Amino acid sequence: MLYYLFTYLDKAFDFPGAGVFQYITFRAMGAIVFSLLIASIFGKRIILLLQNLQIGESIRDLGLQGQMQKKGTPTMGGFIILASLMIPVLLFAKLDNVYIVLLIIATLWTCSIGFADDYIKVFKKDKEGLKGRFKIIGQVGLGLIVGLTLYFNDYVKIRVYEKGKIASAVGEIQKYTDVHSLTTTVPFFKNNEIDYQIFGSFLPESLAWLPYVLVVIFIITAVSNGANITDGIDGLAAGTSAIIGITLAVFAYLSGNKVFAQYLNLMMIPNSGEVVIFCAAFVGACIGFLWYNAYPAQVFMGDTGSLMLGSVIAVLALALRKELLIPVMCGIFLIENLSVIMQVSYFKYQRRRKGLEFAQQNRLFLMSPLHHHYQKKGYHEAKIVTRFWIIGIVLAVACLVTLKLR
């Protein structure tokens, strides 16, 4: 909104200083500052409101060190993230940008699913929360919206140069065309673009969109659930998401800037630079929430926040054509997901092979997800979280290395 206001003031009245709102970097800095301010000013008030409403986390005794001390800690803290994210985005971003619109829809959509889950757990006293099938239906619905929009919307384009490359070497003057395409980036390879449309070429024209949309649904569902599983100890999901958000902000800025895209031989994605503002607000919201969620947590984000974080990260990666980097970039989410799958699969295998008692006494991990395994081994929460953050930073650096290492 401020962008449109100051653009009008600049054009109509030549208002001093109004022109700075044309710069993505200025608006991104404004977004992250506002996000941090909103979290710090209103976060405590939201926590007090949740406490007054007696919205506390119902905790099962799993035998983890210090676990029962957290009983009664307010949940639904995802509303702090939601407010800290949405207000700066509405103030500083161009709201007619298709990527921003999709990200806003993804935020509100999965926040609503998470809220429904938390509401059932807290007010209906049902520890299972929202049935898993309803969560999946909601995530599939979001995947359909995102996938179909990216597939059919002509606003979603890449820049193709005369030689047919996505970018050109520095110093070359080439004509270019912005074309609607589903081309994505394959990391660690030269000439590393692949077009999803080749997977739909064997289908009738009316169904050519199906393979791409199925990929989008899978990515959104997997990353969203991965973030949800990771949110098991204080600060882990919020800190990891902030690291991923910074990585995506770098990709968004470089992919949307003609000079840097040409220099680094990147896929140039017109209008994707606006995503930097969303990434900045996202990082600010995660860090602002971390102020209250760091050990010992004053508030838990609940599914209201965790499902939202994962879906936003997935949509950001899809919009920036970096979805094939998700296994590296979201490596923490991946190993947490895999630890649960491996634990369940191994238990079922041993039960079938040697019986229930043997399977219960010989589990693959002491407990899943993986962070609980280390808690069972006696590691302090803060040490586990810090080490997972370090791994997340290393993975983020590995993703940024793909800009040059191919």
- DSSP codes of every residue in 249-261: HHHHHHHH-HHHH
Nearest to 290 by CA among 370, 334, 231, 224: 231
d(CA 127, CA 120): 8
d(CA 148, CA 318): 12
d(CA 294, CA 301): 11
Question: What amino acid is encoded at 355 in this protein?
Answer: G
211 and 280 Cβ atoms separated by less than 8 Å: no
Side-chain-side CA neighbours of 98 within 13 Å: the count stands at 19
**Packed helices 275-293 and 98-123: angle between N→C axes, nearest 10 degrees:** 30
Give, for all 406 residues of the chain, the pLDDT tens digit: 788 887 878 788 888 888 888 899 999 999 999 999 999 889 999 999 888 876 655 555 555 665 656 777 888 899 999 999 999 999 999 999 999 999 999 999 999 999 999 889 888 887 788 888 999 999 999 999 999 999 998 888 888 876 544 444 444 556 778 888 888 888 887 777 888 888 877 888 778 889 999 999 999 999 999 999 999 899 999 999 999 999 999 999 999 988 888 888 888 899 899 999 999 999 999 999 999 999 888 999 989 999 999 999 999 999 999 999 999 999 999 999 999 999 999 999 999 998 988 888 889 999 989 999 999 898 999 999 999 999 999 999 999 999 888 7
Residue 57: per-residue pLDDT:
57
Residue 167: per-residue pLDDT:
47
Helix locations, 234-301, DSSP H: 236-256, 258-263, 275-293
d(CA 274, CA 278): 7
Residue 79: per-residue pLDDT:
94
Residue 63: per-residue pLDDT:
59
ω into residue 369 within 30 of 0, thus cis? yes
d(CA 257, CA 262): 9
Residues 6+ apart with CB under 8 A from 405: 188
Residue 16: per-residue pLDDT:
82
Strand 176-180 and strand 157-161: pairing? antiparallel
The model's pTM is: 0.92
Two tokens, residue 219: 């990515």
Two tokens, residue 147: 């996938």
Residue 169: per-residue pLDDT:
44
ω into residue 270 within 30 of 0, thus cis? no
Residue 56: per-residue pLDDT:
57
Rounded to the nearest angstrom, the gap between the alpha carbon of residue 7 and the centroid of all alpha carbons in its chain is 30
312 and 281 Cβ atoms separated by less than 8 Å: no
Two tokens, residue 119: 């509401």
